[in-house]
Amino acid sequence: MDATQLQTISDTLMRIVAPDITPKKLLKAARKEHPDASKKDIARAAFFSIIANADPDHGKAFAIAGRVSGDA
């Protein structure tokens, strides 16, 4: 996966993540928009999102981190 794909999936995750979304739903939604992305690619993009979006709005970063660490 190249940097452009990583950023694209990361942007998708940031748009669809919510505090109440389950890991399975987050993965399913990400795969719906990125059918060729593996679970590993989505997890990498999620961690990239956490790092790239480390700012005062910690809510989304923690929501993603919690969903990625869960069983999807």
Q: Average pLDDT per run of 10 along the chain, which is 72 residues long?
A: 92 91 92 95 91 67 64 49
Instruction: For residue 62, give both structure tokens.
Output: 């923690």
Closest CA to 25 of 17, 34, 14, 35: 17
Q: What would the two tokens of residue 12 be?
A: 């998708």
Q: Which residue has the tokens 């919510």?
A: 18
- Rounded Cα distance between 45 and 66, Å, is 14
Asked if residues 59 and 19 have their Cβ atoms less than 8 Å apart, the reply is yes
Task: Yes or no: say if 2 and 53 are a contact pair by the CB < 8 Å rule.
Answer: no
Q: Is the pTM of this model over 0.75?
A: no
